[in-house]
Amino acid sequence: MSNKLHIASTLAKDNLYSDVSPKDLEWTLASGSSTETQTFYLSTNEGHFAFVQMVYSNIGVWSSTIQFTARFFGAGINTFKSVNMSNFKLSEDRRSATADNMEIKLNDDCNKYDVTLNHKSELTVQFGLERVDRGFKIGEGKTYFGEDQKSGFVEHKFWPKCKVTGHIVVDGRAFDISGTGLFVHAIQGMKPHLIATRWNFLNFQAPDASLCMMEFETTPQYGSTKVNQGSLLVNDKLVGVSVENSAEFLETELDSQTGYHVPNVILYKWKGKTLDTKEPFQASINIRPQTLMDKIDVLNEVPYFLRKIVQAFVAKPYIYQWFNDATVEITIGDNKFTSTGKLFNEATFIS
């Protein structure tokens, strides 16, 4: 591993698990080149999928931008919106945010968000998302770049399972989006193309089990190192967090439009110890995604000035997103079982 990279799990040593505190849920609006997001992933009881995201970007000396991105997939609808906003304001405690047509409000107990979004007559979203059991971060949640840890950082905090109640209206059609959710607060404290060449992410939700995984592969400057973190919940209880995980592309196919080798078969693996008893646990999902929701040309969705900066570094980011039924195999100690649910997964190629 490069001595220019200081991974959160290595810094944490034997104390991988940390709870998500109210301080962790504050918007930092870091200076310099940074991107901060709060993202809500929803798997609905009706079998649909939605996500809503607020993005704050600050690149160098240029002014900051605020965007929302949102998707709804189901019932013959596949809609994606990415819209610039203005009038961004934070609450006094910095844990709630508003902009032109969007509000993210955290309650006083710091265990539930209320989210509203209104975009013309095309999209209206309103839901409450309440944490189940605990959140987590790995160590203090940050991986640092640079020998002195001052070149930049990446930070993630998770609520790996949440109860969701609410609705969405897409072009006049209303849907109940009650179900389960995942919340991620992420900060990239440097230009995105300097952090990673690849990202993998998944959110698996079933009535009796929930798993998430976030992985990035650093640029060659930082050793092309894979940094992975994930979690396992069983029966609404956070069983463990893990970093000895992997996302392996078993079969790929060249996308002639983008030049990337896109996975046809993916094997996800988790390996760790339970938080309570320190028993070993493992989990795996072997998936051949059948339903590609979207292939997103990221440069089409970002502000002009940021697009020109990224293009100058020959980066051409694309995000492939899938939503499918999946089965996970779980082993905790001597206990083995399977669980079937909904899997949202994405593969991001940057350069």
100-104: average pLDDT:
94
Buried b (16+ CB within 10 A) or exposed e, 223-242: eebbbbbbbbbbeeebbbbb
pLDDT tens digits, residue range 172-223? 999 999 999 999 999 999 888 889 999 999 999 999 999 999 999 999 999 9
* Confidence band for 20, pLDDT divided at 50, 70 and 90: very high
SS percent in the chain: helix, strand, coil, step 5: 10, 60, 30
Euclidean distance between CA atoms 31 and 239, whole angstroms:
36
Please report, for the domain that includes residue 265, its CATH number. 2.40.370.10
pLDDT tens digits, residue range 291-319? 999 999 887 766 544 544 455 444 688 99
The residue range of the domain holding 140 is 5-349
Taking only Cα atoms into account, the Rg of the chain, rounded to an integer number of angstroms, comes to 19
What dihedral do alpha carbons 156, 59, 31, 189 form, nearest 10°?
A: 30
H helix runs in 81-220, sequence order: 192-195
pLDDT tens digits, residue range 153-172? 999 999 999 999 999 999 99
pLDDT score at 314? 47
pLDDT tens digits, residue range 52-69? 999 998 866 557 889 999
Neighbour count for residue 9 (Cβ, 10 Å): 18
pLDDT tens digits, residue range 120-136? 889 999 999 999 999 99
Euclidean distance between CA atoms 214 and 62, whole angstroms:
29
Percent of the chain exceeding pLDDT 70 equals 94
Provide φ and ψ at 254, rounded to 5°.
-70, 125
315-335: average pLDDT:
95
Euclidean distance between CA atoms 197 and 216, whole angstroms:
8
Euclidean distance between CA atoms 342 and 206, whole angstroms:
7
pLDDT score at 316? 86
- For the chain, the domain total comes to 1
pLDDT score at 308? 47
pLDDT tens digits, residue range 218-265? 999 999 999 999 999 999 999 999 999 999 999 999 999 999 999 999
Euclidean distance between CA atoms 194 and 222, whole angstroms:
9
